Amino acid sequence: MNIGQRIDRSYGELTPQEQRVADFILDHLSDLAVYNASELARLSGVSKATVSRLFRRLGFQDSAEVRDHARTLRSHGAPVGGPGASAGTPSRLAAHFAGEQENLRLLLQNLEDGRLDAAARLIAHAGNVVVIGLRNSYPLALHLRQQLAQTCQSVRLAPLPGQSIGEDLAGLGPNDVAVLFGFRRRTAGFGQLVAAIERRGIPLVLIADSSARKHADGAAVWLECPIDSASAFDSYATAMSLINLLATGVMGANVRETRTRIAAITQVYEDLDELEAPW
C-alpha cells in the first residue's frame, strides 16, 4: 500500500500529534519526496520524534525511505497530492509552466530524427487505421481518431466501450496501421497486445512515455512523449501537441485527397445542420 492508504488504514489508532503529521502529509503528498523529518516536524507543529514514530508505525524505517517511496509512486504515474497542495499559487503555476516547457522541449528533441514524418506517412498510406487506447490513454486515442477522420477514409477507434480488441485486429495486415497509446499505468496485458500486433505483421506506431521503451522494439515507429508534471497528476499537454503534429503530418502527406474529403465532410455538416454557425 502507498503511504496515503497506510495512513487511512491506521488513522484512528494514531495519537493527536501523529494525526497532525498525517494530515499534513495527506495534504502535501506531492511535496513529500523533498521533505525530511525535521521539515515535516516544523511544518506540522510537532516534534521530530513524533514524525519518526509515525513513520515507523506506517512501516517505514526513516524519512529517507518515505522520500524514496514518494518518488517511486510519482515515477509510476500514481497521483500524488492533496487539497493542501495549493495548485493555484504563483509558485505552483510557475513550476507547472516550467514543466510543460521542458516536456515540449524533450518531445521536439525526440522528433528531430524524422520519426514523426515516418509515422505520418505510414498512417496516410494505410488501407485501414486502428487507433487503440486503454485506461488513461483512451481519451488521447479518441482525439487522434477524430483528427484523422478528417483526412483518412478508414480510421476507427478501439476498443469501443464494453468491447474487446480482437475484432478490431482481425483481418488487419502489412498494408494497415495500428496506432497504440501506452502511457504509464498501463493494463497488465499491454505487452501481449504489442506482441499480437507484431505477429500479425501490422505496422505499429507506438506513442507513450519513457516507461514503455521496453515495448518499442515491436513498433515500426516509436514516438516517446514525456508527461512528467510538478503537480499531482501526469500532464498530457505534450501528448495533445504530438497528436496535433501527427494529424497535420498525415494531412500534408495526402493534400489533394485530404482537401476532397474535408470538403465532403463539410457539406454533410451543412446538410445535417450539425455545427453552430461561427457568427
Least confident of 19-23, 72-76, 115-119, 169-173: 72-76
What is the DSSP code (8-state) at residue 155?
Answer: E
Q: What is the CA radius of gyration of the chain?
A: 23
Question: Quick one: pLDDT band at residue 106, thresholds 50, 70, 90?
Answer: very high
Q: Greater confidence, 253 or 118?
A: 118
Contact 133, 181 (CB under 8 A): yes
Report how far residue 193's alpha carbon sits from residue 202's, in angstroms, rounded to the nearest whole number: 12
What pLDDT shows up at residue 77? 53
- Is the whole-model pTM more than 0.75? no
What pLDDT shows up at residue 275? 77
Question: Quick one: pLDDT band at residue 1, thresholds 50, 70, 90?
Answer: low
> How many DSSP H helices and E strands does the chain contain?
12, 5
pLDDT tens, position by position, 18-29: 998 888 887 776
Query: Which residue is listed with cell 502511457?
Result: 183
Vertex 2: Cα angle to 32 and 49 (nearest 5)? 55
What pLDDT shows up at residue 76? 58
What pLDDT shows up at residue 271? 80
**Run of H or E including 224:** strand 221-224
Contact 21, 10 (CB under 8 A): no
Domain ranges of the chain: 3-76, 111-251
Contact 125, 258 (CB under 8 A): no
Nearest to 224 by CA among 74, 103, 99: 103
Instruction: Give the Cβ contact number of residue 252 at 10 Å.
Output: 14
**Run of H or E including 208:** strand 204-208
CATH superfamily of this structure's domain 111-251: Glucose-6-phosphate isomerase like protein; domain 1 (3.40.50.10490)
Mean pLDDT, range 157-173, rounded to an integer: 89
Contact 144, 179 (CB under 8 A): yes
Nearest to 110 by CA among 225, 9, 278, 250: 225
First to last CA, the chain: 54
**Can you say whether residue 254 is alpha, beta or left, with left for phi > 0 and alpha for psi between -120 and 50 degrees?**
beta
Report how far residue 100's alpha carbon sits from residue 93's, in angstroms, rounded to the nearest whole number: 11
Domain 3-76 has CATH 1.10.600.10: no
What is the DSSP code (8-state) at residue 215?
Answer: G
Mean pLDDT, range 237-264, rounded to an integer: 87
